[in-house]
Amino acid sequence: MEAPLLNGVDTSEPPIAAVNVPGEEGVVIYDLDRQKLGMGSALETLCGQAFGAGQVFMLGIYMQRSWIILLMSCLVLLPIYIFAAPLLKLLGQDHDIAILAGKFTLLTIPQLFSLAINFPTQKFLQAQSKVDVLAWIGFLALLEHVVLLWLFISVFGWGILGAAAAFNFTSWLVAIAQLVYVFGWCKDSWSGFSWAAFKEIWAFVRLSIASAVMLCLEIWYMMSITLLAGHLSNAVIAVGSLSICMNINGIEAMIFIGINAAISVRVSNELGLLHPRAAKYSVCVAVVQSLVIGLVCMVVILVARDYFAVIFTDSKVLQQAVSRLAWLLGVTMVLNSIQPVIPGVAVGGGWQGTVANLNLACYYAFGLPLAIILGYVADFGVMGIWGGMIAGTALQTLILLIILYRTNWTKEVEETSSRMRKWGGQEIKTDKIVNSI
C-alpha cells in the first residue's frame, strides 16, 4: 500500500498514522480553544441564574462582558499561535510535525477571534433552552465544512492552506449565524450594546478565569497520558493503543458533554427560580442517568475488546495491545460518565474555583505522580500510567459526589440571589424560596 504523505511528512506508520498525525497540528488549537470555552462557562452560570430569576434583560449584558473578556484573552494568547512551532520543538515534538503544526496554527489565527464570539453566544442561547437553533447551525456548518474541505484540498489542491481556510470560514460562519439569530429573534434578552457591560467586569473576569482553569486542568490531565506513554521503551505501540482508546472514549464523552450542558442550564435556572429541591433532584437524575449509560458503554467495550481496534488499524500487534487495555478503557468510561456531569453542576452553581482547586490536588498532586511511579518506577508501562491517572479521576469523582451530597441547596439559592442583586441591580425576595420539584 502506498504510504500517505501530509505535506511531505510520512504518516504511513500504522499505530501513529491511524490516530495521531492528522490531529497533531490541531493540538495547540484544541488546548487554547478549551481555554476560551472554559472562560465562556462563566456566562453559563450567570445567564442561567439570571434567566431563572426573571432578569432576562441581563443576559445580553452578561454576553457582552464575556465577549470583551474573551476578545482580550485572544490577544493574550496570540503569541502562542504565532510561535507555536518553536514552542512545540522546545517541548520535544518531532521537527517536521512541529513545523507543520506551527504553520497550520499560524494560518488559523482568524478562527481564534471567532470563538470569542461563538462561545458566549452559544452559552447565551443555551441558558434560554434555545438549543434547536444551535443544533441546526452546527449541522449546516458541518455540511458546508465538508464541502469546503473537499473543494479546497481535493479540487484546488491547496493542502494545509485549504484546510486552514475552510476552518476559518466555518468558524466565522457559525459565529455570524448565531449573532444574526440573537439580534433578530432574541428581543427580550438582547436590547443592544450597552456600557453596563463594563460594570463589575473584574468579578466576571475572576469567575471566567476560574472556569478556564477548571476545564484546562481536566483536559491537560487526560492529554498527558499520551505524553507520558511516548517516553516508554515501546512508545509506538503504547501511544498508538492509547490513542485508539482515547478516541473511543472521546466518542462516548460527547454524550456526557451534552448532559453537562443540560444539567448546567437546569441547575442555574432552578437556583435563579429559588427552587433548591428541584435543583437537587435534577442533579440526582443526571448522575444516575449518566452512570447507567457509562455502565452500558463499559459492557459493550468489554464484549468487543478483541474487535473494535480494527476500525482504526490493521496492525495485529496494535490490536492486541488495545485488547489488553480494554478493561482500563471500560473503567474510564464509567468514571467519565459521572465526572463530566458534576462540573456541569459546578458551572450551574458557580463553584468553578472549588472544582479547579480539587482538580489540581487530585490530578496533579495525586494522580499524575502515581501514574509516573506505576508506569516507570514499578515498570507497569502504559497500564501503570493509565491506572495511576484513573486513580486520580476516581478520587476527584468521589470527593465531588461527597460535596454534592453535603450541599445545602437552600444556601446556594441565597448566594445566587445575592449575586443577582449585585450584578443585576434588582431585588430578589429570598423569602419566596420554593422547596418543590
Cα 79 from Cα 90, distance rounded (Å): 15
Ordered per-residue pLDDT tens for the chain, 437 residues: 333 333 333 333 433 333 333 344 445 554 555 555 666 667 777 888 888 888 898 999 999 999 999 999 899 889 988 998 898 788 776 687 778 888 988 999 999 999 999 999 998 999 898 989 999 999 999 999 999 999 999 999 999 899 999 999 999 999 999 999 999 999 999 999 989 888 878 878 887 787 788 878 888 888 788 778 877 877 788 888 888 998 898 888 888 888 888 888 888 888 888 888 998 899 899 999 999 999 999 999 999 999 989 988 888 999 999 999 999 999 999 998 887 777 777 776 777 788 889 999 999 999 999 999 999 999 899 999 999 999 999 999 899 889 888 888 888 888 877 777 766 554 444 444 555 55
Q: What is the DSSP letter of 410?
A: H
Q: Count of CB atoms within 10 A of residue 193's CB?
A: 11
Who contacts 227 (Cβ-Cβ below 8 Å, separation ≥6)? none
What are the DSSP calls for 148-182, one per residue? HHIIIIIIS--THHHHHHHHHHHHHHHHHHHHHHH
Q: Residue 10 forms beta bridges with which residues?
A: 5
- At 6 the pLDDT is 34
pLDDT at 54: 84
Q: Where are the domains of the chain?
A: 12-199, 208-424
* Distance, CA of 427 to CA of 69 (rounded, Å): 27
Residue pointed to by grid coordinates 484544541 = 30
- CB-CB contact of 211 with 39 (8 Å): yes
| Number of H-type helices and E-type strands within the chain | 18, 2
